[in-house]
Structure 1
């Protein structure tokens, strides 16, 4: 049997991030925001710079996913 994570399940939180000079809203669950912030610190990058890098790689594909999905996927394969 599985159990809920500490603090329970939490829905997405919307935040604004500046990419290429314009603001965009991204909705991620708090656990993904925490992982993204940790990845930015690990790479000594501002959060917006890391998001911009993920965005740049994302849009190269022929049918790119939305940015939130790309961030979640990137975080998952980084662990």
Structure 2
């Protein structure tokens, strides 16, 4: 093989890789676009757990917690 044939053979492989890279990038962009579009159309998120909603602002100091625990204890006989 001459130098020109070698260069031509190498150019074909790089052209193939270039085209494959462009196709891959287009595929990934399309998949991202489709996924984000599908996510926007999806059902709205479910409502929050009712137990979690009740405890939303349930910060207590140690004193308040101790008082609540005393109130919840069974009476001793």
TM-score, normalising length from structure 1?
0.24
Q: Which has the higher helix share?
A: 2
Q: Which has the higher strand share?
A: 1
Which structure has the larger Rg? Answer: 2
